[in-house]
Homo-oligomer: A and B are copies of this chain.
């Protein structure tokens, strides 16, 4: 053992003295914290965990598309299937900072029905091809279609875990957020240095001017979410105050992936079939957990981070979110430099369009990659 350590130290100092391009086999690790309302194996973790040079420091969970405890179960099961049971899963916020079911009902009376309300979605108004979900209780965790986890979550609080990791690796961690911003807002409020300790924030949320790009019944259904409310997006609308706290923090760099690029993506049977019979338990679990027809929301965000070349259109905008309890509650606000109010909103790198084929090819490569240790089935 000492001999090996000595060798490693020698190897390390040797290659550190070379120019970066000359180092043959020492790729820098990309540290990432995932904060997500994980809704299944199609989630971000399954992709990021499959990238050799990416080290997932942990997954913090939040309510959003599903309640936090359900998101936590999905995250744990994903870690088992990808052979990474030691990555910590840290449960976070159950409720938004201010928003509540009662407030949503009152708001709908004034401003019309929301399309998707996460676990508060009692039914879909109008004709729909979807099943009506029905309101669920935060503690109810359904059996997962691809098996329940046997590993357990951490008993740390998500915001504190985020702060601890950011302090341990200052300036080195990508914070990858694809759910509501509640945990992140709490971390920002608890630790004024949190944003500056993070290397970059990459988040999926908000909506600018989305347009329906695909013509099929599923695309029609999801277009309901933006055609009459182009500035409204669920992650932000679940907790607008948290999003505003996020948008005013002094991040070193922010990448926003709004709804806009997602409308050109979609889970299809063809894509799932194209994964073939890869020798890992991921593809089977995907087939059992994916709802064909859904946009590839969080996966798109993951691929933007992993393969920036898939982005075909981007813009720099100042972004904020509306927190007045009016028609625009939770709406995305954006400005170019000359128009912004200068109230602390930050410049964000906004992804507007992606190359779907290139994205799917990169996803396919990751999903079908052999899993270290084979993963647990």
Contacts and interface: CB of A to CB of B under 8 A. Distances in A.
Contacts of A328: 322, 326-328, 331
A336 B128 CA distance: 13
A260 B341 CA distance: 26
Given A324-B327, A326-B324, A328-B326, A113 B231 contact: no
Contacts of A113: 338-339, 341
A116 to B, nearest CB: 12
Report the interface size class on chain A. Answer: 35 or more
A206 B224 CA distance: 20
B111 A333 contact: yes
Nearest to A115: B339
B339 A112 contact: yes
Given A113-B339, A228-B339, 9 more contacts: A111-B341, A112-B339, A113-B338, A115-B339, A125-B338, A126-B339, A209-B227, A231-B231, A326-B328
A324 B127 CA distance: 31
Contacts of A227: 209
B111 A317 contact: no
Contact of A112 (B111, B224, B228, B335): B335
Q: Among the interface residues A127, A211, A324, A328, which one has the most CB atoms of the partner chain B within 10 A?
A: A328
Interface in A60-75: none
A211 B113 CA distance: 26
A337 interface: yes
A234 to B, nearest CB: 15
A327 B333 contact: yes
A325 to B, nearest CB: 9
A191 interface: no
Interface of A: 108-113, 115, 125-127, 208-209, 211, 224, 227-228, 230-231, 317, 322, 324, 326-328, 331, 333-341, 343
Given A209-B211, A324-B326, A328-B322, A126 B337 contact: yes
B336 A228 contact: yes
A105 to B, nearest CB: 12
Contacts of A230: 209, 230-231
A112 B110 CA distance: 26
Given A326-B324, A328-B328, A334-B228, A339 B125 contact: yes
Contacts of A224: 336
A43 to B, nearest CB: 29
A127 B339 CA distance: 11
Contacts of A109: 341
Contacts of A208: 228
Q: Among the interface residues A125, A209, A211, A339, which one has the most CB atoms of the partner chain B within 10 A?
A: A339
Contacts of A335: 112, 228
A338 B327 CA distance: 17
10 contacts: A111-B333, A126-B336, A126-B337, A126-B339, A208-B228, A228-B336, A228-B339, A322-B327, A326-B326, A328-B328
